[in-house]
C-alpha cells in the first residue's frame, strides 16, 4: 500500500493561480436562492489573515453545468473572503440521518502546513438542532463558531478564527 | 455507491502538524483545540469536477506570447494514484512557482531579483486516463524569506490537487534532488517521517529528459485512498 503524499503550505504567492470569478458559484447561470457567504479569517492575535485562500464545497444543490458546487476566494486586507452561491438545502447524512443545510470550507494559507476544514451552517435553520455534527459539539459557544449569521438581505457572515478566543471548530475528516 | 465510500485516515507521522514552530508563520495560525471528529458524509466523499473545456490547460509555462522565458527548461511529469495504487484520471492539477531568478510574479514578492516578462509562473494540467500528467517549465530559483537569519527556500514548485472528493484535496511542494537548502528548510522538515518527507523530492529521470531540449523530473503523487467498505447506509 502506498501512503498519501505529505501536505506543504500553500504559501503567500498562491494568487498566481487565482481567477476571482471562481468566488461566484452562480456565474454559470445557477438558479435558486442566491446568497453571499462572507467572513474574516483571523489569527491568534485577532489580526486579519490577508493572504489566505478559502475554498468552499457544497453537495447541495447538486453540481451541474450551471452550478459547480466549488468556489475559491482570496482574503483581502481585512482578512475577508466573499462568495456568491446558492443557499444549500438539507443533505443526507449517514444512515438515516439528515444534515442541516451547510457549506464546507477549506482554509489554506501561509502558516498552515495543511488545510483546515470547517463548515458554515445557517442561523435559524430548524434542522440545526438535529444536525449530527452540530449536536456532537457539546459547548454551545464552540458550536456557534460554525453558524453563519444574517448580515443583511441574502448575506451570511461567519468569521474563521484560527487560534485562541472563539477559535473555530475545525474538523478531522 | 462509490461516492459514499469514505476515505481512510492519514498515516501518523506522514503529514505535517499544524503547530510547526520552526516555521514562524504557524505560531499564530495553528489551532490550539483538537480537531473535532467528523465521520465522513456525502459532503466529504464528493467533490468538484473540472473540465478542460471550462478550465483550459496551460502545460507550457516557458513561453508568453511566443517569447521564451529565461532559465533552464525542465519537464516535470508523473502519475497520480491513490493509496491502493489506482490511477486518478482526469483530475485537475494546478502549479505555481518562482521564476529562474527566484522571484514570483506577485505584488507581495519584493525580493530584489528580476521579474521575467515572459514567465508568469502558473499552469494547469489534467491527468490522462492512467493518472499521468506532464508539463514544461523553467527550473525555479531559490529565494530568501524572513523566517530566520539567512533563510532561503529550496527550489520548489507548488502543486494543487483535487482528486475525487473534498476529502482528497492536497496542496504540496515539489523539491529538487541534491538541493543543499533542503537540510535547513523548516517547511520541508515539518513532515516528521523522513521517508514521507523525501517523497516530496522529485527524481531526475532520463526517460522524461528530451534529447537536446530539457532535463526531466519525475514527481509521483499519492492521494488518500478509500476505505475498504462503503459507509453504512
pLDDT in tens, chain B (233 residues): 334 689 999 999 999 999 999 999 999 999 999 999 999 999 999 999 999 999 999 999 999 888 999 999 999 999 999 999 999 999 999 999 999 999 999 999 999 999 999 999 999 999 999 999 999 999 999 999 999 999 999 999 999 999 999 999 999 999 999 999 999 999 999 999 999 999 999 999 999 999 999 999 999 999 999 998 765 44
Cell output for B134: 506532464
Closest C-alpha to B141, from B62, B71, B199: B71
Alpha-carbon dihedral of residues A125, A130, A131, A133, nearest 10 degrees? 130
CB contact, 8 Å: A59 with chain B? Answer: yes
- Do B75 and B210 contact (CB within 8 A), yes or no? yes
- Cα separations in angstroms, A113 against B16, B50, B172: 6, 25, 9
Show the CA angle centred on residue B155, arms to residues B153 and B158, nearest 5°: 90
B160/chain A closest Cα distance in angstroms: 8
Which set of grid coordinates corresponds to residue B203? 527524481
10 Å Cβ neighbour count for B159?
A: 24
Per cent of chain A over pLDDT 90 is: 99
Sign (positive/negative) of CA torsion B169, A54, A104, B36? Answer: positive
Residue numbers of B between 195 and 224 with CB closer than 8 Å to A: 196-197, 199-200, 221-224
Cα B54 to chain centroid, rounded: 22
Cβ neighbours of B34 in A, within 8 Å: 172
Q: Do A1 and B191 touch (CB under 8 A)?
A: no
pLDDT tens readout for residues A77-123:
999 999 999 999 999 999 999 999 999 999 999 999 999 999 999 99
Q: Which residues, 6 or more positions from B181, have their beta carbon under 8 angstroms from its beta carbon?
A: B142, B152, B153, B154, B155
Q: Enter the ipTM.
A: 0.97
B29·A10 Cβ contact <8 A = no
- Structure confidence at residue B65 (pLDDT): 83
Are the Cβ atoms of B16 and A7 closer than 8 angstroms?
A: yes
Burial A121-140 (b: 16+ CB within 10 A, else e): bbeebebbeebbbbeebeee
Chain center to CA of B216: 17
> What number is the average pLDDT over the span A37-57?
98
pTM exceeding 0.95: yes
Which B residues in the span 42-101 are in contact with A, Cβ-Cβ below 8 Å? Answer: 42-44, 46-49, 81-85, 94, 96, 98
Q: How far is A46 from chain B (nearest CA, A)?
A: 9
Cα A25 to Cα A73: distance, rounded to the nearest angstrom: 11
List own/partner pairs for A145-148 with CB under 8 A and 24 or more apart. A145/A118, A145/A169, A146/A118, A146/A119, A146/A120, A146/A121, A147/A120, A147/A121, A147/A122, A147/A123, A148/A37, A148/A39, A148/A120, A148/A121, A148/A122, A148/A123
Q: Are B71 and B139 in contact (CB under 8 A)?
A: yes
Amino acid at each position: 500500500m502506498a501512503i498519501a503524499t505529505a501536505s506543504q503550505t500553500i504559501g503567500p504567492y498562491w494568487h498566481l493561480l487565482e481567477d476571482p470569478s471562481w468566488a461566484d458559484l452562480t456565474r454559470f447561470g445557477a438558479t435558486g436562492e442566491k446568497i453571499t457567504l462572507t467572513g474574516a479569517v483571523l489569527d491568534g492575535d485577532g489580526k486579519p489573515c490577508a493572504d489566505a485562500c478559502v475554498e468552499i464545497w457544497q453537495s447541495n444543490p447538486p453540481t451541474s453545468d450551471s452550478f459547480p458546487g466549488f468556489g475559491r476566494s482570496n482574503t483581502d486586507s481585512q482578512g475577508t473572503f466573499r462568495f456568491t452561491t446558492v443557499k444549500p438545502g438539507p443533505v443526507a447524512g449517514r444512515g438515516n440521518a439528515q444534515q442541516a443545510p451547510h457549506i464546507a470550507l477549506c482554509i489554506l494559507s501561509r502558516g498552515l502546513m495543511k488545510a483546515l476544514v470547517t463548515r458554515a451552517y445557517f442561523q435559524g435553520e430548524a434542522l440545526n438542532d438535529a444536525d449530527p455534527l452540530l449536536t456532537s459539539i457539546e459547548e454551545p459557544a464552540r458550536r456557534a463558531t460554525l453558524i453563519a449569521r444574517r448580515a443583511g438581505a441574502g448575506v451570511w457572515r461567519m468569521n474563521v478564527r484560527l487560534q485562541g478566543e472563539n477559535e473555530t471548530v475545525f474538523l478531522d475528516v | 455507491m462509490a461516492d459514499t465510500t469514505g476515505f481512510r485516515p492519514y498515516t501518523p507521522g506522514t503529514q505535517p502538524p499544524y503547530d510547526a514552530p520552526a516555521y514562524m508563520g504557524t505560531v499564530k495560525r495553528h489551532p490550539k483545540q483538537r480537531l473535532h471528529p467528523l465521520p465522513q458524509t456525502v459532503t466529504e466523499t464528493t467533490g468538484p469536477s473540472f473540465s478542460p473545456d471550462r478550465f483550459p490547460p496551460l502545460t507550457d509555462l516557458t513561453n508568453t506570447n511566443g517569447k521564451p522565458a529565461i532559465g533552464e527548461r525542465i519537464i516535470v511529469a508523473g502519475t497520480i494514484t491513490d493509496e491502493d495504487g489506482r490511477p486518478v484520471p482526469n483530475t485537475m492539477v494546478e502549479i505555481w512557482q518562482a521564476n529562474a531568478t527566484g522571484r514570483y510574479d506577485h505584488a507581495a514578492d519584493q525580493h530584489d531579483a528580476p521579474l521575467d516578462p515572459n514567465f508568469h509562473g502558473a499552469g494547469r494540467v489534467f491527468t490522462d486516463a492512467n493518472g499521468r500528467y506532464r508539463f514544461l517549465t523553467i527550473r525555479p530559483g531559490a529565494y530568501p524569506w524572513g523566517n530566520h537569519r539567512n533563510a532561503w527556500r529550496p527550489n520548489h514548485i507548488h502543486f494543487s490537487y483535487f482528486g475525487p472528493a473534498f476529502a482528497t484535496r492536497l496542496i504540496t511542494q515539489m523539491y529538487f534532488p541534491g538541493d543543499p537548502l533542503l537540510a535547513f528548510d523548516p517547511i520541508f522538515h515539518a513532515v516528521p517521517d523522513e521517508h514521507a518527507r523525501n517523497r516530496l523530492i522529485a527524481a531526475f529521470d532520463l526517460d522524461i529528459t528530451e534529447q537536446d531540449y530539457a532535463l526531466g523530473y519525475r514527481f509521483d503523487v499519492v492521494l488518500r485512498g478509500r476505505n475498504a467498505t462503503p459507509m453504512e447506509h
